[in-house]
Chain A
Amino acid sequence: MDKKRLKLLMTKVAKGEITREAADRLIKPKKVAQNKPVGEIKGEDKKDSKIRKKTIKLNNTGG
């Protein structure tokens, strides 16, 4: 947010026209994780592979 808008916003907070919490949300919107699948992906390698089975666990950030 540019400085002029920020000063206007903070003046409105001081004046009681908006709450500080609302202003903070405008200044720095809360990061929301993208919707990624949660669960397990199971795969099976070929019979001659050293790792025969593999399970990838997904958390809610998809990592």
Chain B
Amino acid sequence: MAQNFIGGGGSVCLYAFEDMDGWLVAPASHTKSDETQVPFGQGVEVTISRSNNAERIYGVGARNATATINKQFGGTFTINGALSNAYWMLGVLGANADGGTTGAYTHTYTEANILPSFSTTTSFELGTTDFASDLIGCVINTCTISAAVNEALKFSLEGTYRYENLGTTKTSDIPDVEPIFTFAHGSIEMPDGTTIAAVQSFELTIVQNAEPVYGVGSRFMTGVVAKNREYNFTMTAAFNDYTDLLTYFMNGTSSATAPDAGSGTEIATLELTFTNDDGDILDINLTGIHLNEETLPQNVGEVVKEDVTGWARACTNIIYTNDVQTAPAAATNIT
């Protein structure tokens, strides 16, 4: 068998949540998860970037560098796809409780201060000698969920990883069997019970402001600290009622006639619900909503659409309901 150049279809990317005790040991001993690996979704695209953060050493006596040193190892990942399962939400919010009954199991993700890390295996079928890389200590820094008319619900996960082990065993693919959520499956209520009609697009970005911590004695991260958390969103809706968004921008209610003289009132809740063809539900419940910017362009050649940007102060929960009883959970393979 020869060595082949391949397209992305000849590669695989799967992940499993790790034992957090791995962060207590040296990077080389940070064992990858032994939990069953799962796919991130369907239509997945993966970009792994590595940096030695190398530096050329210059000094008097020579124009050329006299040495090169490696500084901190920097590994980052970006994983995009069509949202068909939300199991990775454990790495975004931090905690999960499974519930429900046969045929309708709920996975309720809630906020935690420590972000569970996961091991990601990328592998490539190259022919005689395949290639695989286990990325250890993957922590999600930014999660974006976006939806627009005529599109699938999409996700994007960006983060950093701690360590990496290379090998030559290609992993068999595990295709995601969960149906894809689409924008047509969605509804947006702000506050709960008040559906915003004719939403054209919505994007929610959850930012962890996670900072890798390095220490003396190692090039590799010793931990990742999730600092202040942000839930930012943008929304565009076809305009036919100024009380849908504009009055909420003015004072947080549907009855404003002028901007609030003070800090205004928070909108209690914002709920995004998507129900796919299988009846699976992704229910995102945000609270403490504030609209920060509003734009209402008038152009003879375009439908009048209103744009708003804002944020939520917190996420009550994200409930993912499907047919699977137990969502992927952290491993316990490190003693």
Binding site for B on A (CB under 8 A): 3-4, 6-11, 13-15, 27
Contacts and interface: CB of A to CB of B under 8 A. Distances in A.
B27 to A, nearest CB: 38
Interface stretch (B38-46, B243-251, B254-262, B276-284): B276-284
Decide if the interface of chain A is mainly helix, strand, loop or mixed.
helix
Contacts of A15: 283, 285, 317, 319
B101 A11 contact: no
B279 A8 contact: yes
Contacts of B319: 11, 14-15
B281 A13 contact: no
B269 to A, nearest CB: 11
B103 interface: yes
Decide if the interface of chain B is mainly helix, strand, loop or mixed.
strand
A15 B273 CA distance: 12
B99 to A, nearest CB: 6
17 contacts: A3-B103, A3-B104, A3-B278, A4-B275, A7-B103, A7-B275, A7-B280, A8-B279, A10-B99, A10-B100, A10-B106, A13-B106, A14-B99, A14-B108, A14-B319, A15-B317, A15-B319
Give 9 nearest A-B pairs by CB, closest first: A4-B279, A14-B106, A10-B100, A10-B104, A6-B104, A7-B104, A7-B279, A7-B321, A14-B319
Interface in B81-123: 99-101, 103-106, 108
A10 B322 CA distance: 10
Contact of A27 (B101, B278, B321): B101
Interface of B: 99-101, 103-106, 108, 275, 278-281, 283, 285, 317, 319, 321-323
Contacts of A14: 99-100, 106, 108, 317, 319, 321
A27 B101 CA distance: 10
Contacts of A27: 101
A44 B208 CA distance: 86
A15 B106 CA distance: 10
Contact of B103 (A6, A8, A11): A6
Given A6-B101, A27-B101, 8 more contacts: A3-B278, A7-B279, A7-B280, A8-B281, A10-B105, A10-B106, A11-B283, A14-B108
B279 A3 contact: yes
Contacts of A11: 106, 281, 283, 319, 321
A11 B101 CA distance: 11
Nearest to B107: A14
Nearest to B277: A4
Contacts of A6: 101, 103-104, 279
A13 B100 contact: yes
Nearest to B319: A14
Contacts of B317: 14-15
B35 to A, nearest CB: 23
Contacts of B101: 6, 10, 27
A8 B279 CA distance: 8
Contacts of B275: 4, 7-8
A13 B99 contact: yes
